[in-house]
Structure 1
Amino acid sequence: MARAAAAAPSMHNAQPWLFRYFRRSRTFEVRADLERAMPHSDPDTRGLHIGCGAALLNLRVAVVHEGWCPETLLLPDPTDPALVASVRLTGPTTDEDDLGALYPAIHRRHSSRYPFEEREIPGPVREALGAAARAEGAALAFPTPWHLQEVLELAQDAEARNITDPGSDQDLARWTRIDAPSAGTADDGVPHYAFGPRKLGGKAPVRDFAGSRRVAGRDTADFERTPQLALLSTSHDHPEDWLRAGQAIERVLLLATLEGLSSSFVTQPLEWTDLRWPLRDPVSGTGCTQMLLRLGYGPEGPDTPRRPVSDVLDIQP
């Protein structure tokens, strides 16, 4: 179950989580690994909490898959902010709980930074993805064409800022693996083989993890002219909301994987406070944008490294 939880996505694949299991009470604790925080790109740890929320959703799915019911509490101890959630295994699971159906997607879901087809995602699939987000207390919306153009411009602005921002460059240097030896031995971060091709044309806002560095043998490619993006938002903007957002994002991504969709994250504009708020729906003006997803039909992304379970799981009596 901890291995499934640790397969979750996280910012720069930092994997900022730790798990503690108490045998006697059959309870998992999900803890934030604050040593893996990014003070520059994620100063308020919003992204860290979202990653922990995604791991929590995977854990809940795995618990149901094993036949138990996950009794979940968010931030159960106000005096211990690193304790982001507890999951007690009560049981057995109920027939109407559909979380277990998502289990096959946990180890298939990988971020894909490759070009997607121009084929539109069918309406019923979009509706199902929206329902998955709502089940976790969040909202998922596909921007209308004129709003989409504004979102793309904000992402482009953020990408331009990151290129010249020393702090962003330091984060990339810490969490990306350019050379083959480090990519083959590291158990975290984004290895060069997961960067995808360098964008030659198209409007898809795909982050270039190479930055200004050269990657030997890397190809170039044209990306989508009309990318399909989805904004995930919550009503408020506190640590509990970030954890709910992380669970909603992972639930959406697991369902998208089962529906044959590929996905990647567009975090660049979310890392700049003045760019994050304009991402909201300009008509309603409500909600706090927590994540921007790129979805579509295209190649699956490669496996990225994971920390050994022995490094993230502590078992107590």
Structure 2
Amino acid sequence: MSIRTASDAVQAALEAARWAPSVHNTQPWSFAVSGDEIGLRADTERRLRVGDPAGRELLISCGAALFNLRTAIRRAGFEPVVRVLPDPDRPSLLALVRPGGETEPDEQTRVLAGEIERRRTHRSGFTTLPVPDRLVQALVRTAEEEGAGLLALAPPAVVAVAALTEAAQIAQSEDRGRHLEVVRWARPPGSSRRDGVPAGAYPHDEPRTEPAFAQRDYAWRHEWGSPADQAGSTSPGVVMVLTTAADTREDWLKAGQALQRVLLRASAYGVSAAFHTQVLEMEHLRAFLREELCDGAYPQMIMRLGITFDDAETVRRPVSDLLR
């Protein structure tokens, strides 16, 4: 049954927003509520100062939270009214969102909303069960509905992107500042922190896929982490690149909204995603990817989609910690 008060819709939206994916689960957002209007703000204290100096990944993360806000409000029975980057004098204010006129949520909205808390990020190989071509095509259309592109890579391009990812990971592992920034967001077993990547959510050893996709070394110098692969989980899955036509702050927010819409639809069919952002954090490699594989579009996310029976652990901060 739909929620029928705007105040309840706002509370439902805040609860949904906190489940958005974010780089290293940094959860780089905060919210301010005035009446029935939610202000989505970038929490710049959580920006990766070495790996994400321009804040591109931060805004993509916040874009995913914005999509959850929109979806939860529509699921509650109201049309979301959104203003993106409403005040140039307040660059950290990314969007204002409020419930508008009453509406009956359609089936797609109900399905996507139902996946918000169930969706999980995967960080290893997938089973050999195939992702249906029809679903891949549907996900491409899903990204287009949010004004983004989604490119499914052919096998030769998959090999190239895997090699670029490996090269970027090696270079970043040799950069002490970058490496320590990643390790900062790895959580040891038993940690009470509600952000970062829990020990059960990343592999201790490199996943065995062909071609191999380098994973972040969250377990650096520790015995933390889960086994790299469950039995039979050695497929890289379907490798896709999310793109935008331009590369502005508005485009980064658009990319985040498209990403989350794709992830939720995939999750509804039992398909999970693994992310690889190392290449995109090195501008010369990102430029190469743009020109050689993305036909001039700006790559915003590299991800592998596949089927896994591993229910990864996740943590989120409570809404009370997010309100400003």
| TM-score (normalised: structure 2) | 0.89
Q: Please, which runs of 5 or more residues in structure 2 have no aligned partner?
A: 1-12
- Secondary structure of the 2:217 match is coil
Residues 216 and 247 (structure 1), Cα distance of their counterparts in 2 relative to 1, 3 Å cut: closer
1:50-90 Cα shifts (integer Å, max 9, x gaps): 00000000111110111111011110111110000111210
Q: 1:68 aligns with which of 78, 91, 98?
A: 78
Query: Structure 1 residue 313 and structure 2 residue 323: aligned?
Result: yes
Match of 1:212 in 2: 220
| Structure 1 CA distance for aligned equivalents of residues 107 and 98 of structure 2 | 16
Match of 1:163 in 2: 173
Q: Please, which runs of 5 or more residues in structure 1 have no aligned partner?
A: none
| Structure 1 CA distance for aligned equivalents of residues 185 and 67 of structure 2 | 24
How big is the shift at 1:300?
Answer: 4.2
Answer yes or no: is the 8 Å Cα contact 2:64–2:257 preserved in 1. Answer: yes
How big is the shift at 1:206?
Answer: 4.8
How big is the shift at 1:226?
Answer: 4.8
Relative contact order, CA 8 A, sep 6+: which one is greater? 1
Match of 1:195 in 2: 202
Match of 1:103 in 2: 113
Q: CA RMSD in A?
A: 2.0
Answer yes or no: is the 8 Å Cα contact 2:183–2:220 preserved in 1. Answer: no
Match of 1:34 in 2: 44
| Structure 1 CA distance for aligned equivalents of residues 268 and 313 of structure 2 | 17
Query: Structure 1 residue 248 and structure 2 residue 258: aligned?
Result: yes
How big is the shift at 1:279?
Answer: 2.1
Query: Structure 1 residue 137 and structure 2 residue 155: aligned?
Result: no
1:136-192 Cα shifts (integer Å, max 9, x gaps): 1100011111111111111111111122111221212321113x24x2x10111111
| Structure 2 CA distance for aligned equivalents of residues 100 and 243 of structure 1 | 23
Match of 2:21 in 1: 9
| Structure 1 CA distance for aligned equivalents of residues 38 and 214 of structure 2 | 35
Answer yes or no: is the 8 Å Cα contact 1:264–1:295 preserved in 2. Answer: yes
- Secondary structure of the 1:43 match is coil
| Structure 1 CA distance for aligned equivalents of residues 132 and 118 of structure 2 | 22
What does residue range 46-125 of structure 1 map to in structure 2 within 5 Å?
Answer: 46-93=56-103, 98-125=108-135
| Structure 2 CA distance for aligned equivalents of residues 90 and 5 of structure 1 | 18
- Secondary structure of the 2:206 match is strand
| Structure 2 CA distance for aligned equivalents of residues 264 and 89 of structure 1 | 33
| TM-score (normalised: structure 1) | 0.91
Q: Percent of counterpart pairs with the same letter?
A: 37
